[in-house]
Amino acid sequence: MAKSAKEAARAKAEAELSILAARGVRLAGCAFPMILFVKGTPSEAEAAGAEPLSGEDGEALFKATSALGYAPEDWAGCLGVLEDGSPMPPEVLALTIATLSPLTVVATDEVARSLLAETLAADLVELADLSEALLEPGLVVQVAGLRVMALGGFAEALDDPAKKQLMWARLKRLPPLAEPY
């Protein structure tokens, strides 16, 4: 018996996500998010195997995206390190972005900004604005069909009220791009 379109889509998604898992990608959240957070430096708990963005920073990002109008299933997170603890290569982040197909990608820290910049380097060099090409924190950059932002030290900012407000101001520049169904 032939698979329904829904069954075929589910099988395709499972196959694609299993490829990411085989490459050691550490994901949390929805399989097909509107917004993908990339965290370059894992917390101690994440380094020990906890789910990506399962700590205070993930909770704060979840609350912020909810306040902006994102549904709980609209976001995902990945670490910039693989299961074995090695840095994620740019081609693996590119595969992750292609597989998850988010509309927006956010680097939460400098390590993630650097990884994202290296991943998108071929497209970033074409930008006329040097600040955008460098993915300077706080700028919303349109590149490679994505809306991209580097937050710049999100986890560390949670301990400082002024920096926390700065992060919120940056995140407010990234409202959902589509209406929920």
Give 147-169 pLDDT, tens digit per residue.
Answer: 999 999 999 999 999 999 999 99
Mean pLDDT of the chain, nearest integer: 94
What is the predicted pLDDT for the residue at 4? 87
Interatomic CA distance for residues 90 and 121, integer angstroms = 10
**Percentage of the chain lying above the pLDDT 70 cut:** 97
Interatomic CA distance for residues 142 and 46, integer angstroms = 30
CA angle 170, 172, 173 (to 5 degrees): 70
pLDDT tens-digit map of 17-35: 999 999 999 999 998 899 9
Q: Which CATH code of 3.90.105.10, 3.90.1150.10, 2.60.40.1180, 3.40.470.10 fits the domain covering 5-171? A: 3.40.470.10
Interatomic CA distance for residues 116 and 114, integer angstroms = 5
Interatomic CA distance for residues 161 and 158, integer angstroms = 7
Query: Per-residue pLDDT for 87 more than 70?
Result: yes
Picking from 118, 113, 110, the residue whose alpha carbon sits closest to that of residue 89 is: 118
Query: Per-residue pLDDT for 10 more than 90?
Result: no
